Amino acid sequence: MNRIFGSSSSKKPKPTLQDAINATDARVASVEVKIKKLDGELFRYKEQMSKLRSGPGKNAIQQRALRVLQQKKLYEGQLNQLQQQTFNMESAALTTDNLRNTMATVDAMKLANKEMRKQYGKIDIDKIENMHYDMEELLEQANEIQESLGRSYAVPDEIDEADLEAELDALQLEEEEEGPSYLSDLNKIPDFVDEAPVEISESITKEAVKTT
């Protein structure tokens, strides 16, 4: 029987909310076309009545215009209802999309939270602290080695700056007490020389004068 008449599972899927919105929009467009057509008829009847005098002919056209106007009012009411339905369905669709996005965000946050717990569970805080202490000890040892390599062998480790200034002042006093340096005595004439030495150029000049 299922092969002949088909089973219930072969039924068409139910229309979605978006399908309903599209169908309503199509009906709105159709009603708008009808209203536009009625507006054209009313405009034509209005022109005809403006050219006629009061009488049976004008009254007949006026009755037709009233029926057309009544139809237009009905279509306008239907159009308002359809537009309101479209607005309600679009609002529902927007709310559904927001809810779907919210659920996707919540699922992603749950997965991220689970992954973070899994990763942090592999971290041992005690090992990190021990590694930190080891690094501090290594840095202290490196500083000690640098200080040892930079130590001067001839200069004491601690030199008092006041002692250096006192020693410098003592050296200046010694120079003042000793007087002029022995280098200044090199140009002094010895005691056993009676006359000052004469420059060579001066003696040659004097001899030349005598001969002339």
Q: What is the C-alpha to C-alpha distance for residues 89 and 40, in angstroms, rounded to an integer?
A: 32
Confidence of residue 80 (pLDDT cuts 50, 70, 90): very high
Going by pLDDT thresholds of 50, 70 and 90, the confidence category of residue 2 is: low
Type of residue at 22: N
pLDDT in tens, 49-66: 888 788 888 888 888 889
Residue type present at position 69: L
For the record, the structure tokens of 137 come out as 């000890």
What pLDDT does 55 receive? 81
- Are 38 and 71 in contact by the 8 Å Cβ rule? The answer is yes
Integer Cα distance of 107 and 96 in angstroms: 16
Is pLDDT larger for residue 67 or for residue 167?
A: 67
Going by the DSSP 8-state scheme, the letter that residue 156 receives in this structure is -
Instruction: Count H helices and E strands in the chain, helices first.
Output: 6, 0
Say how many residues make up the chain. 212
Give residue 1's pLDDT.
Answer: 47
Which stretch of 37-51, 100-114, 140-154, 159-173 has the lowest confidence by average pLDDT?
159-173
What confidence tier does 120 reach under pLDDT thresholds 50, 70, 90? Answer: confident
The pair of structure tokens assigned to 19 is 């399908």
- The full set of domain ranges for the chain reads 17-147
What's the CA gap between 55 and 109, in Å, rounded?
80
Residue 14 contacts residue 34 (beta carbons within 8 Å): no
Task: Write down the mean pLDDT value for the chain.
Answer: 78
Residue-by-residue DSSP string for 89-151: HHHHHHHHHHHHHHHHHHHHHHHHHHHHHHHHTT--HHHHHHHHHHHHHHHHHHHHHHHHHT-
Residue range 115-128: mean pLDDT, rounded:
83
